[in-house]
Amino acid sequence: MTTEHIVTSYEDELASLDSKIAQMGGLTETLVAQAFDALCKGDVASANNVILDDAKIDEFELEIEEQAVTMIARRQPMALDLRQIMVAIKITSDLERIGDLAKNIARRSIAVANEDHRTTLRGIERMGQAVSRLLQVALDAYQRREPVTALSVLDQDEDIDSHYNSLLRSMLVFVAEEPDQLHTRSNFIFIVKNLERIGDHCTNIAKVVHFIATGLQVGEAETLIRPQPE
């Protein structure tokens, strides 16, 4: 077997790993969007589909981790390639957790599906849309290995945190004013917490994208790649 053939085969394995992460990321995006849509529409059937499809995310995680470990054992990659493989494992873990959070939102949406909460849902809608966009941007940054885009994820997550804090305060006020609605309000509190946690996992993805693209942790040389005001 020639050296060229070995290198080509290894590059094919890295490309295969990237392809699987792209598929896993696309499915994760779909589950987050479907869970949020099920919540807003009170669609129990769609929520149940999210719960069932989360198993596919878990399967992707196992498959990608097994391939990554095999590549490390067989190829003994140099530093740069090893970094790419370890980043793949890290991103896969974050995507699996996002899938779990989407499943949790779907379960909570079933619990409140038969009640009229249009006012509360209007408050959550903007946050949910922002979280969906953030996940898309984070995955795009990974596919393009784009550090500037990765840094924008961190900036946008601050807006999501602001939404979360505002919604949490208002919901706690509702709980105090309507203690008989505690169970229902607690479901919404957990929903917005799950959305906030998805944002956190998006920032985790963005940070490892920044690292693989620059070799630097976020903050070490951020001014070198973040656009500066003219």
CA nearest neighbour of 100 among 28, 25, 19: 28
pLDDT of residue 220: 56
pLDDT of residue 214: 86
Alpha-carbon distance of 170 to 69, in angstroms, equals 46
Chain centroid to CA 77: 28
pLDDT of residue 116: 66
CA nearest neighbour of 46 among 102, 94, 98: 102
DSSP of the chain: --HHHHHHHHHHHHHHHHHHHHHHHHHHHHHHHHHHHHHHHT-HHHHHHHHHHHHHHHHHHHHHHHHHHHHHHHH---HHHHHHHHHHHHHHHHHHHHHHHHHHHHHHHHHTTTS--HHHHHHHHHHHHHHHHHHHHHHHHHHHT-HHHHHHHHHHHHHHHHHHHHHHHHHHHHHHH-GGGHHHHHHHHHHHHHHHHHHHHHHHHHHHHHHHHHSS-TTTSGGGTSPPP-
92-116: average pLDDT: 92
99-112: average pLDDT: 94
Residues in the chain: 230
Alpha-carbon distance of 185 to 120, in angstroms, equals 9
**What is the chain's mean pLDDT, rounded?**
86
Alpha-carbon distance of 20 to 57, in angstroms, equals 11
| Structural contact between residues 148 and 206, judged by C-beta atoms closer than 8 angstroms | no
Q: CA dist 194 to 16, 128, 200, 221, Å? A: 31, 10, 10, 31
Alpha-carbon distance of 23 to 16, in angstroms, equals 11
Q: What percent of the chain has pLDDT over 90?
A: 54
Chain centroid to CA 205: 8
Q: Is the dihedral of CA 126, 129, 133, 138 positive or negative?
A: positive
Residue 2 has pLDDT above 80, yes or no: no
Alpha-carbon distance of 179 to 159, in angstroms, equals 30
Residue 99 has pLDDT above 90, yes or no: yes
118-137: average pLDDT: 88
Residue 15 has pLDDT above 80, yes or no: yes
Q: What is the pLDDT of residues 154-188, one digit of tens each?
A: 999 888 998 899 888 888 887 777 777 677 778 88
pLDDT of residue 85: 87
Claim: this prediction has a pTM higher than 0.85: yes
Give 111's contacts (C-beta < 8 A, 6+ positions apart): 184, 187
91-108: average pLDDT: 96
Q: What is the pLDDT of residues 50-83, one digit of tens each?
A: 999 999 999 999 999 999 999 888 877 776 778 8
pLDDT of residue 92: 96
